[in-house]
Structure 1
Amino acid sequence: MDTSLTLSLVGDSFVTMRQSVYDEPSFKQMVALIRDAHAGFTNLEVTLHEYEGYPAAQSGGTYTRADPHIIEDLKWMGFDLYSTANNHSLDYSYQGLFSTIASLKEANVTYAGTGKNLAEATAPAYFATKAGRIALISATSTFADWARAGSQRRDMQGRPGVNPLRYDTEYIVTEDTIETLKEIAAKLDLPKRIQEEGSYRFLGRKFVKGEEPKIRTKPNKEDMERNLTAVNHAARQADYVVFSLHAHEGRGSNHVKPAQYIETFARSCIEEGAHVLVGHGHHALRGIEIYEGKPICYSLGNFIFQNETVLKMPADFYRDLDMDPYTGNPADAFDKRHEYYAKGQPGMPAEFKWFTTDEKYWVSVIAKVRFDGGELKTMELYPVTLGMDRPRSQRGRPMLASEEKAVEVLETLQKRSEPYGTEIEIEDSIGKITR
């Protein structure tokens, strides 16, 4: 058996419209690149159903939904492996989740990250190729807490949902700062709470005494151990293990750099037997690290981003935009959302620009990863653009970038990968990492 394996990896596919109808040369070349692999991977950032279920009180932002047949277009493009664990997985509650799973099963594709209980959501899924068996495990650290899958007991059913990777946050501050927080709590007459020595809990946050102020995050112990166990099992059952992590969180105000817990978890996955970790959720590119000879893509950004052509929205969506929740329509709502967030709203991060006003959300790369006998040989990065300046009906659809834009995207990725010691060579508008 030939043990040389090629994977085509992309980030989020927020897909609401057919892709197979287009025939631009740069689009057809891109599809050919994806297909030229033993397997293609993407994160499925939409739910698939016919509105059988109920919209959740809290969505991942946009209430995602696409016609179930849209999976056939993703298959046509060359995708075989799908992550279903993300902050949109339960936009339409449990029935929406079940309908999505049913659609994926009917399409006969390999998916991981959600299920009717925690064991199912965590379990590896497998895909056979002539170069070996691939295992896929998917988790998300960005989700509403009620979307977290729960464990099954012999006397109680489990809870449907996503495979979670929770994380703990500590704010390191000086002793003087902790004393100030105590004074504020006293002046506000806040209820007194039992405290740990060396730390102080204030308004739901844990502040820890230290010399230098910083934010420290670490993976939740239970979730980390469960997922690493799944990696360990998969590594013994398959020739290659792909771990998918959907995570928005950045390093404090620096959203380009992943939160500390993401790096900790990603490296642990490699140590436990994963061959590649594919990150997404940030909606833009983050750096690439080669750790113990295996690639960690901290975020491949958006691959398809059609979040303005969702067919219908529930009343809550319109109400949040100060629109009539009963008579509002999607066209007006998406116009209003652009205006609403483009000018900034109280409580929003000051550095955040709305998606339709920032080009970083409309460029990405296809990562072609080649292994031989389980060892990384090469990684090629093909830049794509999603057409930020195109009309809404065409925006978010990917195609290979022009030579000038490709170099610009790759130079950005070079800078974001430098802190990890990763060298990306640019040749003929393609980024190359060679072992």
Structure 2
Amino acid sequence: MGKHTHELDGHLTHRDGGYDNVGSTETNVADGFTMVAVGDLILSRPLTKGNTVGLQGILSKADATFGNMETLIFDIRSFKGSPQAEYGGAYHISVPDLGRDLKSMGFNLMSRANNHSLDWGVEGMRETSRLLDENGITHAGVGETLSQAGAARFLETAKGRVALVSFATTFMPMSRACDPAGEAPGRPGVNALRLTRNITLPPDALEGLRRVRNVLPGYASPERNPGRVVLLGEAFVAGDKPNFSYQADPSDEARVLRNVRRGKQFSDFCIVTNHGHEPDWSELVSEEPADFEQPFARKMIDAGADAYIAHGPHLLRGIEIYKGRPIFYGVGNFFFDDLRTPVGADMFDVYGKDPRLDTDAEVTVDEQAKGYPSIEGFVGALGKPIHYESVIAVSLFQENQLSEVLLYPIELGFQKRFANRGTPCVASGPQAKSILLRLQTLSQPFGTRIAIESGVGVIRLKRGSLL
């Protein structure tokens, strides 16, 4: 076994016969430590008896195997909760056996903070937590209070203790957790990172918007900032070209940074994950991360994160290696088996369907064709081939440094009939090459070089390299 850290009384770590400061941000795992990262898991049934066998070897051999849990798990026949009036664009639901199924695939880490965390209320959130706990899957991002939702959760492995901190920048407003205040109790929910959005418009377009605002009842007022217009809760500013810009809430950012520091202080390897749809300027959702995310991800690495994984856009984004640690700006979908049933009455209404005449599947097909009406940027965003192509990212660490990242291209069967698509298998031939070439292009702006070897993407780092 290589160099390794053991916690001493929760304060100091022992390494090579000496003692490190409690604030050490160094990676500290045994040689050969591997982390697998995949994206969103949207599935409604156990699938290990299907065609996932070829992938289980990749998932189960890693020390830490991570995915974003974007469904709820419970038995609808005995469920005491209900579908919520405010939901994440669709009611994601699966059966209790899914917990055991995910464990048998190799998953041992799940993020829970996302826009679907409370589709079925607090009851659905709690039952999903219970079933993941029962099957030995470490999960983070939701809790009975904000402090619980934001806290790092820990996985013990043979090569080191792994911490997971999970938050969401895209979440339903009523799902945000809070802490107690005086006599008021805390609120169960999601660990949220709130963003302020500014929309940049060319000066002539901004002036036109100002004229529109000024004729609306209650909006006309003396101009205080000629380069800014606020309308219907959105801030518009003057700029060279149309764009969306985001800023993280300072208090939320400070809280996340504290939880990352704490997570690393009590672990040997810390993973930080964000579920976000930003920037929401395209019907496909952007293949580039929002402007806030690169500096934010780097802050997480500086605070002690050994990997930053973003998910939520449902498509691939680029990869950056920062200070020798991987930043995945979008790992796409891993499961998109969205044969959900039952569907809440509100969703039937949204798509003009009648639950007495139309089926759950017909609602889902409409949703994938038209996108989530309640989620900005998802108009027609979920029914295109690009959302059915992704990668499994395997990061290998030697001597406490990232030595290589292997990128296995996968495809989720876009061409298959509705009941059979959404299950991953290793892509091959021209499709595999196309996926990896796209990821090459998306990663170039971050200075990341991806080679393609025998149908697998490879990022290699030289000893001591911070590429």
TM-score, with normalisation over the residues of structure 1? 0.92
Residue in structure 2 matching 1:93, options 121, 134, 158: 121
The yes-or-no answer on 1:189 pairing with 2:217 is yes
Cα-to-partner distance string for 1:227-286 (whole Å, 9 max, x where unaligned): 111111111111100011111112744611111122222111111110111111111111
Indicate if the aligned counterparts of 2:166 and 2:191 stay in contact, CA closer than 8 A: yes
Shift of 1:203: 2.2
Q: Is 1:264 aligned with 2:289? A: no
Q: How does 1:94-173 map to 2 (within 5 A)?
A: 94-173=122-201
| CA distance in structure 1 between the aligned counterparts of 2:334 and 2:101, rounded to whole angstroms | 14
| Number of residues of Structure 1 aligned to a counterpart in Structure 2 | 426
CA contact (8 A) 2:146 2:191 kept: yes
Q: Percent identity, aligned pairs only?
A: 33
User: Residue 11 in 1 paired to residue 39 in 2?
Assistant: yes
- The 1:193/1:35 distance shift into structure 2, 3 A limit, reads farther
What does residue 366 of structure 1 align with?
392
* CA deviation vs aligned residue, 1:289-335 (integer Å, no higher than 9, x gap): 1112111111110001111x112111111111111145532133334
CA offsets 1:118-154 (integer angstroms, 9 cap, x no match): 0000000001111111000101111111111111235
Q: Counterpart of 2:423 in structure 1: which amino acid?
A: R
Q: Provide the residue aligned with 2:262 in structure 1.
A: 233
Rounded Cα–Cα distance in structure 1 between residues aligned with 2:238 and 2:381? 36
Rounded Cα–Cα distance in structure 1 between residues aligned with 2:278 and 2:420: 29
Asked if 1 retains the 8 angstrom alpha-carbon contact of 2:389 and 2:410, the reply is yes
Distance in 2 separating the partners of 1:213 and 1:355: 24
**Higher helix fraction: Structure 1 or Structure 2?**
1
2:221 and 2:47 mapped to 1: Cα distance? 55
Seen in structure 2, the aligned counterparts of structure 1 residues 331 and 296 have a Cα distance that, compared at 3 Å, is same
Q: Is the 8 A contact 2:280 2:376 kept in 1?
A: no
Distance 1:6 1:207 in 2: 45
Matched, 1:29 2:60: no
Query: What displacement does 1:96 show?
Result: 1.0
* CA distance in 1: counterparts of 2:177 and 2:376, whole angstroms: 29
**C-alpha deviation, 1:402, in angstroms:** 1.4
Alignment of 1:395-410 (within 5 A): 395-410=421-436
Tell me the amino acid that sits aligned with residue 355 of structure 1: L
User: Do the aligned residues in 1 keep the contact of 2:313 with 2:332 (CA within 8 Å)?
Assistant: yes
User: Does structure 1 conserve the Cα–Cα contact (< 8 Å) formed by 2:87 and 2:119?
Assistant: yes
- Residue in 2 aligned with 1:329? 359
Partners of 1:194 and 1:378 in 2: CA distance: 58
Equivalent residues in 2 for 1:39-50, closer than 5 Å: 39-50=64-75
Structure 2 gaps, min length 5: 3-29, 462-467
Please tell me the residue identity of whatever aligns with 2:163: A
On the 8 A contact 1:315/1:326 being kept in 2, the answer is no
Tell me what 2:100 maps to. Answer: 72
1:119/1:196 CA distance change after superposition, 3 Å: farther
Let me know the Cα RMSD of the aligned residues. Answer: 2.3
Q: Is the 8 A contact 1:384 1:399 kept in 2?
A: yes
What's the counterpart of residue 347 of structure 2? 317
**Which deviates further from its counterpart, 50-59 or 298-307?**
50-59
Tell me, yes or no, if the aligned pair for 2:214 and 2:221 is still in contact at 8 Å: no
Structure 1 residue 200, shift from structure 2 partner: 3.0
The DSSP-based 3-state class of the residue aligned with 1:256 is coil
Shift of 1:117: 0.7
Asked if the contact 1:250–1:256 (Cα under 8 Å) also holds between the matched residues in 2, the reply is no
- Describe the SS at the equivalent of 2:185: coil
Q: CA deviation at 1:389?
A: 1.2
Equivalent position amino acid for 1:220 in 2: D
Q: Distance in 1 between matches of 2:424 and 2:206?
A: 49
TM-score when normalising by structure 2: 0.86
Contact 2:108 2:136 in 1 (8 A): no
Q: 2:249 aligns with which of 201, 220, 223?
A: 220
- Listed one character per residue, the Cα deviations across residues 389-412 of structure 1 (whole Å, up to 9, x for unaligned) are 112222111111113321111001
User: Residue in 2 aligned with 1:248?
Assistant: 277
Match of 2:110 in 1: 82
Is this contact kept in 2: 1:228–1:269, CA < 8 A?
A: yes
Matched residue of 1:181: which SS? Answer: helix
Query: Cα distance, 1:43 vs. partner?
Result: 0.6
Change (3 A) 1:154 1:108: farther
On the 8 A contact 1:68/1:103 being kept in 2, the answer is yes
Residue equivalent to 2:25: none
- CA shift digits 1:346-402 (9 cap, x unpaired): x986x954533x111111111000123432111100011111111222211111111
